[in-house]
Amino acid sequence: MKLRYLVACTAAAQTLTIGAAFAQTPLTMWYHGAGNEVESAIINQIVADFNASQSDWSVSLESFPQGAYNDSVVAAALAGNLPDILDVDGPVMPNWAWAGYMQPLPLDEAVIADFLPGTKGYWDGQLYSIGLWDAAVALVTRQSTLDTLGLRTPTLAEPWSGEEFMAALDAAKAAGNWDYAFDPGMAWTGEWYPYAFSPFLQSFGGDIVDRSTYQSADGVLNGDAAMAFGEWWQSLFTGGFAPGTSQDPAARDNGFIEGRYAFSWNGNWAALNALNAFDDTLFLPAPDFGNGPKIGAASWQFGVSGTSQHPEGAAAFIEFALQDEYLAAFSNGIGLIPATASAAAMTENYAEGGAMAVFFALSEAQALVRPVTPGYVVQAKVFEKALADIANGADVADTLDAAVDEIDADIARNSGYGH
């Protein structure tokens, strides 16, 4: 009896699937989160909900490990095999849009009116990508550390100045309770450098490239402000405040929790760990080095591939995924900052008074996107190498000059990157 019931059910389910497959136009989608079970479960749920919610489109998902994702997209684009829906790291989007891998996202602006600015990917005046979440960085420390060192607690309205920050590091170093006063995270090579450290440069008044034209870095990456930034950056390492480029990745991941660093420059994704370790963990806003406190913005976002025949279907899926409940699910699942205030209210950590609500405020108040240009991919690499070299004791002016020359030569070779 039971068996017969099961067979009947299966048959019914099969008829359903077949019926659906005939009516729905298939769409393919690629995602960078393979290997993360929680993340995969959420994105699979969204796809399943979408396919069940309407009869026009049927999305099928393929996940890639993050490390291989960008290479896979580039290879697929060269071979002409792009899916309909892509996810893309925010700062890389202009490069793909410029190269024709993506097309503008046909989405009603009203849908995303309440979204955090860092989640919207604009290139050439058009929306190409939209994120379900953002990420933010804060100066992580403990209330007990501030009390021991006799430091005032900086706030969003009144962050530390550069001098106050260095005074705090001096005090922490003199106290001798920690291996290092400050952990900027030098072990995290790659995109972490421009994401986490270029806001310091911007707070000094410099930048990776001149954003008024995007045609040169001369004067902004090697001007007086940038030189001051470079000297300050080098002093962190020559002064013994921070571990250098040979920091052990394990020390980066666990050093703060193990009490080896007084202050850590770290993202919201590591916040839960720190909170679990210490009840009095604080997430402080970035220091203001003269041009306002700054942190990086933009994380992974969704967009439509350049070769897709069904941009309206892709947009329908993306709009479906932008519902608050999914934003909140991602936030609860993997600790990301939900893109809207209404979704934040639905989460455990980002709701008013939640443990990580401060990150939502930081994202709103201090976030600055990385340079919006197709050349960013190269500029990020050049910037990373310059910062590593300066940390290792290279001459600041010569290193920044060399970075400027390389960026300018690259822009020239690409005929200005279409700006």
Partner 1 sequence: MSSKLTTSNRAGWAFAAPGIVLIATFIIVPFFFAFALSLTNQRLISPNPTQYVGLQNYRDMLSLSVLQLAPERDAAGQILRDADGTPSYPRVRDITRNPDFPQYRGMREWFRVHLGDTAHVVIARDVVFMKALVNTVTFVLVVAPVQGGLALILALLVNQKLRGITVFRAVYFMPVVVSIVVVSLLWRFIYSPDGGLLNNLLSGLTFGAFQPVNWLGNPDTALPAIMGMSIWQAVGFHMVIWLSGLQTISPTLYEAAEIEGASKWQTFRYVTWPGLRHTAVLVLIVITMQAFALFAQIDVMTRGGPLDSTQTLVFQAVERGYGKQDISGGATISVVLFLIVLTISLVQRWLTRERA
Question: With respect to partner 1, which residue has the nearer C-beta, 310 or 385?
Answer: 385
Of the pair 309, 415, the CB lying nearest partner 1 is at 415
Which is nearer to partner 1, 229 or 237 (by Cβ)?
237
The yes or no reply on residue 61 touching partner 1 (CB under 8 A) is no
CA separation for the pair 182, 173 (Å, rounded): 9
Q: Does 413 bind partner 1 (CB under 8 A)?
A: yes
Q: Is 84 helix (H, G, I), strand (E, B) or coil?
A: coil
CA distance 339 to 312: 22
Cα separation of 182 and 234, whole Å?
Answer: 13
Nearest distance, CB of residue 273 and partner 1, angstroms: 21
Distance CA 331, CA 417 (A): 35
For partner 1, which is the closer residue by CB, 354 or 418? Answer: 418
Q: Least distance in Å: CB of 256 to partner 1? A: 15
Nearer to partner 1, 94 or 118 (CB): 94
Query: Considering only residues 3, 5, 353, 415, which one is a binding residue for partner 1 as defined by CB under 8 A?
Result: 415
- State which residue, 40 or 235, has the beta carbon closest to partner 1: 235
| Coil/strand/helix, residue 300 | strand
Binding of partner 1 by 309 (CB under 8 A) = no
Compose the 240-269 pattern: x for residues touching partner 1 by CB under 8 A, - for all others.
----xxx-x--x------------------
Minimum CB separation from partner 1 for residue 244, in Å?
6
Closest separation in Å from C-beta 419 to partner 1? 13
Other beta carbons within 10 angstroms of residue 100's beta carbon come to 12
User: Which residue intervals of 278-375 are DSSP H helices?
Assistant: 311-321, 324-334, 341-346, 357-366
Nearer to partner 1 by C-beta: 51 or 399? Answer: 399
Which of 386, 397, 376 minimizes the C-alpha distance to 97? 376
Least Å from the CB of residue 41 to partner 1 = 30
Closest CA to 187 of 179, 199, 178, 196: 196
Copy the structure tokens of residue 304: 């439509």
Backbone angles phi, psi at 321, to 5 degrees: -70, -20
CA distance 35 to 308: 27
User: Closer CB to partner 1, residue 334 or residue 394?
Assistant: 394
Single residue of 26, 100, 240, 290 touching partner 1 by CB under 8 A: 100
Q: Which of residues 353-412 bind partner 1 (CB under 8 A)?
A: 377-378, 381-382, 385, 388-389, 392-394, 397-398, 401-402, 405, 409-410
Grouping H, G, I as helix, E, B as strand and the rest as coil, residue 115 is coil
99 is an interface residue for partner 1 by CB under 8 A: yes
**Residue 72 engages partner 1 in binding (rule: CB under 8 A):** no
Min CB(138)–partner 1 separation in Å: 26
First-last CA distance in the chain? 70
**Closer to partner 1 by Cβ: residue 102 or 112:** 102
Report which DSSP code applies to 188. S
Of residues 175 through 214, those in contact with partner 1 by CB under 8 A are: 189
**DSSP code string of 204-251:** HT--SS-TTTSS--TTTTSSHHHHHHHHHHHHHHHTTSS--TT--HHH
Contact at 8 Å (CB) between 202 and 146? no
List of residues contacting partner 1 (CB under 8 A): 71, 74, 77, 95-96, 98-101, 189, 244-246, 248, 251, 377-378, 381-382, 385, 388-389, 392-394, 397-398, 401-402, 405, 409-410, 413-415, 418
